[in-house]
Amino acid sequence: MHNETSMNLRFTKGHENSQRGFSGEISMNLRVSKENEDTRLRFSDERKWKIMLIDDDPLVLNSFLSLLNRDGYQTVGVPNALMALNLLEKDTFDIVLTELVMEEMRGDELLSAIFQKSPDIKVMVITGYGTLKMAIKAMQNGAYDYILKPCEYQDLKIRINRAISSIRAIESKKKAEKDLKDSEERHRILLENIHDLILLCEKDGNCIYASPSWKTQFGLSLSSLTGKGWLDLLSQEDKNKIAQALHSIEKQKGLNHELEIVLNGNSGVKRVFSGYMLLTKNPDDQKTLVFFFLHEITEYLKNKAQEREIERLNAAKDLAIATAHNINQPMTCIRGLTELMALKIENEGEDSLHLREIISQCDRVQKIIEKLLHINKYETIPYVDEDMLRLSEPEHEHASSKRQ
């Protein structure tokens, strides 16, 4: 006894204004044996497998067409080889089921003509015991399978599904090959246009691949980089750094290692690159290779240095402004007391000259303080003028210029 699956389908129809006019439910109970469940589910398959049947016996042809259509295949039946070949000119099919012995054309001729029009099609030949040798020859000439008459429909369906599985496998393989080819093409385009440097070399430094960016960035031909030519761009310090990194990677069993090296560019210009190196395997001989990925950071480091210089200057400005605030009040006090002392001295002697010189220097200092207090916080160049420069001159120079 076969196991069975019960399925209840319930449809509600309401046609209030129709000629028959009814409102109610139609209940349908389907019982599907496990043996045929895969066949019933074929109706839900998104892809309809197209099968052509060629047989000059209308009874056989119509019987198979009816059974295959019931099981969800998309079928076309033709009574002779000429009609079949004409149809293959206009449409595509997944499988051809054909009788070998027909009046218009021999079986081997039909098979050859089918493959000329549709090289990938699956051809299954149907034959009687008397033409078994012809069926075997057809298999040798490219037919996928043969079926002996009289045949059971279940056996035919098993062979058709086997052919469909083969088609799926071939299509999956072709898709995988196409995806791989597309992926390789994308990687090739990426490598040809990437600005960063990629290098693949043996552990002794012998380069076996360099990305085109080496040529665009350094003006070097790729042939000049192969071998150990690329090592000429490195200082001895960086060569030692790479050797130490390689030893570290081997010790850590495959972990990548961050790297920062200097490459000597055109006209001796040194360019800084940061990136990483890791170990990989050559798929051909499993030989260990070293992979380098390097990104130039020369401009980045220059910008960082400029940012640090700006920070230093801003800190100096903050200090200058704070200092000016701190000395402004004492300097005002000194100038005021000096003026009072000068008023009490009636003669124009040496003491009076000294007091006036103190007042003059206080005025100069207060001018400088005023300018420091008005320095723009966001200026990148410190404010320096003649008064600030003169403030740093030795005292005897000021006195000499005053006397003159």
Res. 69 pLDDT band, cuts 50 70 90: very high
Paired tokens of 2: 């076969």
379, amino acid identity: E
**pLDDT one-digit tens code per residue, 104-114:** 788 788 888 99
Q: In CATH terms, is domain 47-193 a member of 3.20.20.70?
A: no
Res. 346 pLDDT band, cuts 50 70 90: low
Q: Contact, 167 vs 123, CB < 8 A?
A: no
Paired tokens of 310: 């700006």
Q: Contact, 98 vs 110, CB < 8 A?
A: yes
Residues of CATH 3.40.50.2300 domain(s) within the chain? Answer: 47-193
Res. 165 pLDDT band, cuts 50 70 90: very high
Helix (H) or strand (E) holding 97: strand 95-99
pLDDT average, residue stretch 50-55: 93
| C-alpha count within 13 angstroms, C-beta hemisphere, residue 110 | 29
The Cα–Cα gap between 93 and 118 comes to 8
Helix (H) or strand (E) holding 187: helix 153-193
Helix (H) or strand (E) holding 96: strand 95-99
* DSSP secondary structure, 299-362, as one string: HHHHHHHHHHHHHHHHHHHHHHHHHHHHHHHHHHHHHHHHHHHHHH--S-SHHHHHHHHHHHHH
Res. 11 pLDDT band, cuts 50 70 90: very low
ω into residue 150 within 30 of 0, thus cis?
yes
Res. 376 pLDDT band, cuts 50 70 90: low
The Cα–Cα gap between 52 and 92 comes to 10
Res. 160 pLDDT band, cuts 50 70 90: very high
Q: What are phi and psi of 152, to 5 degrees?
A: -80, 140
Residues of CATH 3.30.450.20 domain(s) within the chain? Answer: 195-296
Q: In CATH terms, is domain 195-296 a member of 3.30.450.20?
A: yes
Paired tokens of 53: 């049947």
Residue 264: strand pairing partners = 270
Proportion of the chain above pLDDT 90, given as a percent? 20
**pLDDT one-digit tens code per residue, 177-234:** 999 888 888 877 777 778 888 888 888 888 888 888 888 888 777 777 777 778 888 8
**pLDDT one-digit tens code per residue, 27-36:** 333 333 334 4
> Is pLDDT at 137 greater than 90 in this prediction?
no
Check residue 70 and give its pLDDT: 92
